[in-house]
């Protein structure tokens, strides 16, 4: 009986752990002003290195404007990130940083910047899926969260992505019958 209870508890704990949802209220966001990030390759390298070393949840950098976003789950990690970049990455420095309020809009901006999409284009283009290393569940959850908030913020742009057919249902059915006869 004891074994049965342990198995049930183990199953419940795995189920709950697998159903992690994005809760940005527990995250801290920083706008980081940098020097030395001059191209997309370097920006991507710095962001991936911080994520791979689990110093942050998400980071993205704009090489044109010398800033980036770093999102962490503990406020003290920004000091570790600053030390890591300034000491371990040759030619790249964090000049300063400021804490920002973590909002869905800020997460959308950081996500677009991570995908190398300019923030001017975000109002017309649905975010693309980004895989965060081996963290498939996190990648899926984060993409779902960003996409849901983008659709809520830009409903007209989302509707414009779908072009309704000028044909009536009867015309579509007739067209399909003709295609089936030809095949």
Residue 73's H or E segment, with its range, is none
pLDDT score recorded for residue 8? 46
pLDDT in tens, 23-72: 889 999 999 999 999 989 999 999 999 999 999 999 999 988 889 999 99
pTM surpassing 0.85?
A: no
Instruction: Please tell me whether residue 131 adopts helix, strand or coil conformation.
Output: coil
What residues contact 94, with CB distance under 8 A and at least 6 apart? 32, 33, 34, 81, 82, 85, 86
Q: Which residues share a beta bridge with 33?
A: 67, 96
Mean pLDDT taken over the chain? 83
DSSP sequence for 53-65:
TTS-SEEEEETTT
pLDDT score recorded for residue 168? 78
CA angle (170 as vertex; 168, 173 as ends), nearest 5: 115
* Structural domains for the chain: 24-155 (3.30.70.100)
């Amino acid at each position: 009986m004891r074994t049965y209870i342990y198995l049930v508890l183990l199953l419940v704990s795995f189920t709950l752990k697998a159903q992690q949802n994005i809760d940005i209220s527990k995250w801290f966001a920083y706008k980081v002003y940098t020097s030395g990030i001059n191209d997309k390759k370097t920006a991507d390298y710095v962001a991936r290195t911080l994520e791979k070393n689990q110093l942050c949840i998400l980071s993205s950098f704009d090489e044109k404007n010398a800033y980036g976003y770093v999102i962490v789950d503990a406020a003290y990690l920004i000091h570790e990130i600053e030390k890591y970049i300034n000491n371990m990455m040759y030619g790249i420095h964090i000049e300063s940083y400021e804490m920002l309020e973590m909002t869905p809009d800020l997460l959308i901006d950081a996500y677009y910047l991570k995908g190398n999409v300019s923030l001017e284009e975000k109002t017309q283009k649905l975010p693309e899926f980004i895989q965060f290393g081996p963290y498939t569940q996190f990648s899926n959850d984060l993409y779902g969260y960003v996409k849901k908030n983008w659709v809520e913020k830009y409903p007209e742009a989302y509707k414009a992505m779908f072009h309704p057919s000028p044909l009536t249902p009867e015309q579509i059915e007739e067209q399909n019958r003709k295609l089936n006869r030809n095949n």
